[in-house]
Amino acid sequence: MTSPLPSSPYASVLDLAPVVPVVVIEDASDAVPLARALVAGGLPAIEVTLRTPAALDAIRAIADEVPDAVVGAGTVVTPEQVTRCVRAGARFLVSPGWTDVLLTAMRASGVPFLPGVSTVSEVVALLERGVREMKFFPAQAAGGTAYLKSLAGPLPQARFCPTGGIGPANAPEYLALPNVGCVGGTWMLPADAVAARDWGRIEELARAAAGLRSSGGTCR
Please list the active-site residues. Answer: 47, 135
Distance, first Cα to last Cα, the chain:
16
Quote the CA–CA distance of 82 and 94 in Å, as a whole number: 10
In sequence order, what are the residues at sequence separation of 6 or more whose Cβ sits closer than 8 angstroms to the Cβ of residue 181? 12, 14, 15, 133, 159, 160, 161, 218, 219, 220
Q: How many CB atoms lie within 10 A of CB 140?
A: 17
* Crossing angle for the helix pair 79-88 and 55-65, to the nearest 10 degrees: 30
